[in-house]
Amino acid sequence: MYRYDVLDQRLVDQRVEQFRGQVQRYLAGEIPDDEFKALRLRNGLYYQRHAYMLRVAIPYGLLSSSQLRMLAHIAREYDRGYGHFTTRQNIQFNWPELEDVPRILADLATVQMHAIQTSGNAVRNVTSDHLAGVAGDELEDPRPWCELIRQWSTLHPEFNWLPRKFKIAVTGAAEDRVALKLHDVGLQIVDGTSGERGLRVYVGGGMGRTPVIGRVLREFLPRRELLCYLEAILRVYNLEGRRDNIHKARIKILVNQLGVDVFRARVEAEYEALREANITLDEVEISEMAVHFAAPAYTSALADSGLSSARAMLPGFADWERHNTRAHKQAGYRIVTVSLKAPGVPPGDATAAQMDAVADLAERFSFGMVRTTHDQNLVLADVREDQLSALWQRLADAGLATANVGTLNDMICCPGLDFCSLANAGSIAIAAQINERFSRLERLYDIGPVQLKMSGCMNACGHHHVGHIGVLGVDKHGEEWYQLTLGGVAGGEHVALGDRLGAAIEKERVAEVVEQVLSVYVDHRHAGEQFIDTYRRIGLAPFKEQVYGRDQKSNRGVGSLAA
């Protein structure tokens, strides 16, 4: 992983001291509330329903064991003993005191972590493929590019007061696991026609209340020009993006208003004008960065991994292996997903003890590295097959071996009304309701892969637009109701926004309706067909009819939600 040099460390240390001063001056009444809000947001500090919430950056989802232990320490020392892993690969702490935050940041800086630009109208944490470096379908590890972008965007003086937040994702794989077309900018490592390595640039995607699927801005960008091109995009956006309406301020709105061709022409003109040597990357810089992400020292596979006897001897191991591990590009290794979706636990939450346990297990079984995923799990990416069963037992001891990865219960879920001041409705309680109704793993396995994604409001932190089943919390006369969508897909060529199933439903009925939806799938599926494929084949109508009945009008009651 990337290790700070003295320059990186000094900058982060100085940022901590700067923020400490800002907090002191705010508490002394020297900074007005609205301005302090903007300042604290640029350091990841929100004020939520009950208290402050601190979002700590996990750059492109990569953590060392010592960093994860520090997160556990912060959960224990300054919070209520747990943290919440987010859909952007970060972690949130829900209960810090404002006065403690400078100390938390100073603690983080000792392990080369920070909360810089995890919120506010600036370039946010760059996200990446949680299988970077270990997936077989990868052209090149995207993380060196993520780190180059992280550094370039950190405290960028020109782009710290953008019209709105700005999210970048990078992948080097064939399969889109980062939702390239749902980011302000998505970058895909590709080879050009002459064999030169470069990037395909997508722009203008995003979720929120106006979901938009991003478009190709440039088919091929020479890799050395990456920062020049990003600078051009950001400058056009900073100068021309709308600032009069927060809901129209994302770059997707500007791209739509200008049209992608006009937007492209403006970016290209700016790119031509600003190409200068001091922002063009040089090859040495690129290769030095890549060294930081070199593969660990894999050992050759044993003749007998012991897996077949483990499957036979250990009840539950085979299911866990099938669902929570996947193929590694290195023979003799598996990629392990640590499920943070145990029944009865808010999706994505981990206790301090669990974080410590995973940190220890990473050291013992996976080169001391942990990844966070956008679907709110953790990954131990480099586990030897012959050590899988030992790891499984220890994960099970820590409550982290629920064999439900990829199933309905492996759902994405925002903090919802319980924590978030934006939310219209709870999401954690709905997750629990669904978990209870689908408590048998055999049933989940029979249903097969389904991505259920749930947001407590239209800001879509829970990515409901692109869930195979999307659940959106809405406020209806002060009550929590839920709007379902079907058929959303987050990545790849079939990327799609979900179709609205019908009128919002009462809180008590959400799991029941999900069950009805799944029963239609089970009745109609061809052998081996997954939910999303059946949905694509048969369309919305049979699902609608099952839930709302043939005669019932499904659009009554919540007309305002149809827009």
Partner 1 sequence: MDVIRNRIVVSDPWRHELSLPADKATAELAPGDVIVCLQRWLSDWDALLARGGRVGVRIDASDDLRQLIDTQLCELWLVEFHFESFDDGRAYSRARLLRSRHDFHGDIRAAGDVSRDRLGFMERCGFNVFSLPAQANLAAALAAFDEIGDTYQPAADGGASVARLRGHRAPLAVRSAA
Q: Which of 385, 350, 352, 340 is nearest to 366 (CA)?
A: 385
Q: Per rule CB under 8 A, is residue 27 in the interface with partner 1?
A: no
Helix residue ranges per DSSP H, 366-409? 388-397
SS3 283: helix
**Site track 222-241 with partner 1 (rule: CB under 8 A), x = hit:** -----x-------x--xx--
Question: What phi, psi does 384 have (nearest 5°)?
Answer: -65, 140
Beta pairing partners, 191: 197
Binds partner 1 by CB under 8 A, chosen from 174, 274, 327, 331 = 274
Q: Per rule CB under 8 A, is residue 257 in the interface with partner 1?
A: no
Q: What is the DSSP letter of 125?
A: P
Q: Record the tokens describing residue 348, joined without a space.
A: 């994505």
With contacts defined by CB under 8 A, name the span among 88-96, 148-156, 171-179, 260-268 that binds partner 1: 148-156
SS3 263: helix
Helix (H) or strand (E) holding 202: strand 197-203
How far is Cα 355 from Cα 395, in angstroms, rounded to an integer?
11
Q: CB-based contacts of 161: which residues, under 8 Å, 6+ apart? A: 121, 122, 238
174 or 273: whose CB is closer to partner 1?
273
Q: Which of 132, 105, 125 is nearest to 59 (CA)?
A: 125
Q: Per rule CB under 8 A, is residue 35 in the interface with partner 1?
A: yes
Binds partner 1 by CB under 8 A, chosen from 60, 82, 159, 481 = 159
How far is Cα 100 from Cα 41, in angstroms, rounded to an integer?
16
Side-chain half-sphere CA neighbours of 387 within 13 A: 22
Q: Which of 290, 336, 321 is nearest to 130 (CA)?
A: 336
Q: Per rule CB under 8 A, is residue 290 in the interface with partner 1?
A: no
Binds partner 1 by CB under 8 A, chosen from 191, 272, 285, 479 = 285
Q: Per rule CB under 8 A, is residue 370 in the interface with partner 1?
A: no
What b/e string do you get for 496-513 counting C-beta neighbours within 10 Å, with b at 16 or more? bbbbbbbbbbebeebbeb
CB 143 within 8 A of CB 132: yes
27 or 302: whose CB is closer to partner 1?
27
Q: Per rule CB under 8 A, is residue 22 in the interface with partner 1?
A: yes
Q: Per rule CB under 8 A, is residue 269 in the interface with partner 1?
A: no
Q: Per rule CB under 8 A, is residue 276 in the interface with partner 1?
A: yes
Least distance to partner 1, CB of residue 196, Å: 20
Binds partner 1 by CB under 8 A, chosen from 243, 311, 437, 507 = 243
Q: Per rule CB under 8 A, is residue 284 in the interface with partner 1?
A: yes
With contacts defined by CB under 8 A, name the span among 77-85, 187-195, 278-286, 356-364 that binds partner 1: 278-286
How far is Cα 252 from Cα 322, in angstroms, rounded to an integer?
39
Q: How far is CA 269 from CA 22, 162, 220, 272, 273, in A?
A: 39, 20, 16, 5, 6
Binds partner 1 by CB under 8 A, chosen from 7, 28, 297, 563 = 7
Task: Please tell me the count of residues contacting partner 1 according to CB under 8 A.
Answer: 46
Binds partner 1 by CB under 8 A, chosen from 97, 99, 137, 158 = 158
152 or 445: whose CB is closer to partner 1?
152
Helix (H) or strand (E) holding 437: helix 428-437
How far is Cα 40 from Cα 120, in angstroms, rounded to an integer?
8
Q: Per rule CB under 8 A, is residue 157 in the interface with partner 1?
A: yes
Least distance to partner 1, CB of residue 149, Å: 10
Binds partner 1 by CB under 8 A, chosen from 47, 78, 152, 298 = 152
Q: Record the tokens describing residue 417, joined without a space.
A: 């009304």
278 or 560: whose CB is closer to partner 1?
278
**Site track 111-140 with partner 1 (rule: CB under 8 A), x = hit:** ----------x-------------------
Binds partner 1 by CB under 8 A, chosen from 126, 233, 281, 395 = 281
Binds partner 1 by CB under 8 A, chosen from 99, 282, 397, 479 = 282
Binds partner 1 by CB under 8 A, chosen from 48, 66, 160, 393 = 160
Q: Per rule CB under 8 A, is residue 38 in the interface with partner 1?
A: yes
Apex 343 CA angle, 342 and 348, nearest 5: 45
Q: Per rule CB under 8 A, is residue 29 in the interface with partner 1?
A: no
Contacts with partner 1, residue ranges (CB under 8 A): 5, 7-8, 10-11, 14-15, 17-18, 21-22, 31, 35, 38-39, 121, 151-163, 227, 235, 238-239, 243, 273-274, 276-282, 284-285, 288
